[in-house]
Amino acid sequence: MFKHLTTAVLCFALSVTTTISSAADPIVIKFSHVVAENTPKGQMANKFKELVETRLGDRVKVEIYPNSQLFGDNKVLEAMLLGDVQMAAPSLSKFSRYTKKLALYDLPFLFEDMEAVDRFQQSPAGEKLLKSVERKGLVGLGYLHNGMKQLSASNKLRSPNDARGQKFRIMSSDVLEEQFKAVSAMPLKKPFSEVFTLLQTRAIDGQENTWSNIYSKKFFEVQPYITESNHGLLDYMVVTSKEFWSELPADTRGELEQALSEAISHGNEVAAQKSVSDRQKITDSRRSEIVALTAAERAQWVEAMKPVWKKFEKKIGKDLIDAAYASNQ
Ligand code: SIN
Question: How far is the CA of 96 from the CAs of 20, 89, 113, 321, in angstroms?
Answer: 42, 14, 24, 17
The pLDDT assigned to 23 comes to 55
Number of structural domains the chain divides into: 1
Give the model confidence (pLDDT) of 178-216 as tens digits: 999 999 999 999 999 999 999 999 999 999 999 999 999
Say if residue 14 is exposed, middle or buried (CB neighbours under 10 Å; 0-12, 13-18, 19+). Answer: exposed
Mutate which of 73, 179, 204 for ligand 1? The one with the most ligand atoms within 8 Å of its CB, which is 73
**CA neighbours closer than 13 Å in the CB half-sphere of residue 90:** 32
For residue 142, give its domain range.
22-326
The pLDDT assigned to 231 comes to 98
Per the domain annotation, does 192 fall within a domain?
yes
Q: Which ligand 1 atom lies nearest to the CA of residue 39?
A: 2
Contact by Cβ (8 Å): 152, 288: yes
Ligand 1 mean position, distance from CA 91 (Å)? 6
Residue 86 sits in a domain whose CATH number is: 3.40.190.170
Per the domain annotation, does 300 fall within a domain?
yes
Per the domain annotation, does 10 fall within a domain?
no
Per the domain annotation, does 6 fall within a domain?
no
Assess whether pLDDT exceeds 90 at residue 130.
yes
3-state helix, strand, coil in the chain (%, to 5): 55, 20, 25
Q: Which ligand 1 atom lies nearest to the CA of residue 213?
A: 2
What residue owns the CA closest to ligand 1's atom 7? 192
The pLDDT assigned to 191 comes to 97
Per the domain annotation, does 224 fall within a domain?
yes
Assess whether pLDDT exceeds 80 at residue 6.
no
Ligand 1 mean position, distance from CA 222 (Å)? 18
Ligand 1 mean position, distance from CA 159 (Å)? 25
Residue 143: phi and psi, rounded to 5, are -90, 150
Per the domain annotation, does 16 fall within a domain?
no
- Average pLDDT of 6-35? 64
The pLDDT assigned to 73 comes to 86
Give the model confidence (pLDDT) of 97-117 as tens digits: 999 999 999 999 999 999 999
The pLDDT assigned to 74 comes to 82
Percent pLDDT > 90 in the chain is 91
Ligand 1 pocket, residues with Cβ under 6 angstroms: 34-35, 41, 91, 146, 171, 192, 209, 213, 234
Mutate which of 150, 234, 239, 275 for ligand 1? The one with the most ligand atoms within 8 Å of its CB, which is 234
- Average pLDDT of 160-169? 98
Q: What is the pTM of this model?
A: 0.92
Confidence bin at 24 (pLDDT 50/70/90): low
Give the model confidence (pLDDT) of 209-247 as tens digits: 999 999 999 999 999 999 999 999 999 999 999 999 999
Per the domain annotation, does 248 fall within a domain?
yes
Per the domain annotation, does 225 fall within a domain?
yes
